[in-house]
Structure 1
Amino acid sequence: MKKIGLIGGMSWESTALYYQHINREVSRRRGGLHSAPLHLVSLDFQEIADLQKQGDWARMTEILQTAARQLANSGAEAVLICTNTMHRIAPQVQAATDLPLLHIADATADAVLAAGLSQVALLGTRFTMEQAFMRDHLAARGIQCLVPDEPGRAEVHRIIFEELCRGQVLDASRQSLIAQVQQLAARGAQGVILGCTELTMSLQPGDGGLPGFDTTALHAMAAVDFCLS
């Protein structure tokens, strides 16, 4: 099996899901007591969150590039950034080593296109919903994204940072997220991308009446495909 390198800790709650998804799928496919050979660099999310608020993407790039180099030096054969938001600097992280970077939007686009959809809702942090990096990556594959209005974006962002990243899963917030999905369905969304790796802690595919695409699970399955290729 090939060794997978994970840049995690953003937040550790979703990194734990990556670990579970990858190992359970390797065990399912290989049987016995098989598990995945994983290398993990887990960052302090408080530092990253503070830099996000400051808009200091140059410093965040340095941190993630250093993590990628650590993974390369440890023997990892591919790199995953275990968060949607930090894919804003995926090209720079990719350039830090000779290792392939498995992009979360590629795994997501494959699933959306396989379902025959071309216009989907995108939920995530403000950075993911408001900046172009995720939407442009998907648009290049022929997928258009709809995002909530300003109050909706603020609420989704709040739920992620104030609750899910802290391990809190509240039913009232889950209902609020479902309402956002329903509003986007009314605007023409055919499915919904759970474009934050923590959102799967609250929303499940099918909530709000739309097929859902769990970026955490899809990214993890891409890692397994690489591991076993």
Structure 2
Amino acid sequence: MKIIGLIGGISWVSTGDYYKLINQGINEKLGGLNFSECLIYSFNYADIKRNNENNDWDSTFNMLLKGCQFLKQGGAEAIVLCANTMHFIADRLEEAIELPIIHIATATAIEIEKQGLKKVGLLGTKFTMELDFFKDKLISKGIEAIIPTSEADKDFIHTTIFEELGKGIVTDETKQRYLAIANQLIKEGAEGIILGCTEIPLVIKPEDLLVPVFDTTLIHSNAAIDFQLS
């Protein structure tokens, strides 16, 4: 089994989901008492958020590079960034650390391609929705991503990710607003919805919508499992 390194704490809630899903997945494939051989470097989310608010991606890059180096020294053969937004600097990190970074958007694009979809809705932080790092991976597979047009909706998603979901807080009011936003994207032609933040699966479940739901936490975890067993 190959060793993977998880960059976590962004947030701790979804990092726990990654650890659980990866270990369960390894056990399902190998049985017995086989589980994932992995390392975790968990950040203080407040430091990351402060950098992002100041658009200081260089500081975030240096923090994550330190974590990646720690994991590489510990024997990690690939890195898993346990957050969608951090993939904005994934290519830069991969070049600096000289280890493969299992890209969440690439793995998601492959899953959407398997279902033959050409237009999907993308929900996530404003960074994930508005920057190109995630959408470019979809475009490479011939997939168009649409995002909410309402600034109020984008602000709501962004704020609740940090102030609620990232703390493990889930309310019915927030869930209903997320579903309304997703259903509006479906009305605009989305054939599927990407949960493009690793905390959004807390409020949107596959059974909540009438189109396929792409849980990036689960998809990314499965890609990590495939790498470990490759």
Normalised to the residue count of structure 2, the TM-score between the two structures is 0.97
Query: Aligned residue for 1:24?
Result: 24
Query: Aligned residue for 1:158?
Result: 159
Instruction: Give the alignment of 1:41-190 within 5 angstroms.
Output: 41-149=41-149, 150-190=151-191
User: Moved runs in structure 1, 4+ residues, more than 3 A?
Assistant: none
CA apart distance, 1:208:
2.9
Number of aligned residues: 229
CA apart distance, 1:46:
0.3
CA apart distance, 1:202:
1.1
Give me the whole-angstrom Cα distance separating, in 1, the residues matched to 2:101 and 2:143.
Answer: 21
CA apart distance, 1:9:
0.5
Say whether the 8 Å CA contact 1:68–1:96 is kept in structure 2.
no
Give me the whole-angstrom Cα distance separating, in 2, the residues matched to 1:113 and 1:137.
Answer: 11
Say whether the 8 Å CA contact 1:65–1:92 is kept in structure 2.
no
CA apart distance, 1:206:
3.9
CA apart distance, 1:135:
1.1
CA apart distance, 1:25:
0.6
Query: Aligned residue for 1:207?
Result: 208
Give me the whole-angstrom Cα distance separating, in 1, the residues matched to 2:212 and 2:156.
Answer: 22
Q: Which stretch has the larger CA shift, 90-99 or 6-15?
A: 90-99
Q: Which stretch has the larger CA shift, 201-210 or 141-150?
A: 201-210
CA apart distance, 1:99:
1.3
Gaps of 5+ in 1: none
Root-mean-square deviation (CA, aligned residues, Å) is: 0.9
Query: Aligned residue for 1:33?
Result: 33
Normalised to the residue count of structure 1, the TM-score between the two structures is 0.98
CA apart distance, 1:146:
0.6
CA apart distance, 1:72:
0.8
Query: Could you tell me which amino acid in structure 2 is paired with residue 94 of structure 1?
Result: E
Query: Could you tell me which amino acid in structure 1 is paired with residue 191 of structure 2?
Result: Q
Percent identity among equivalent residues?
43
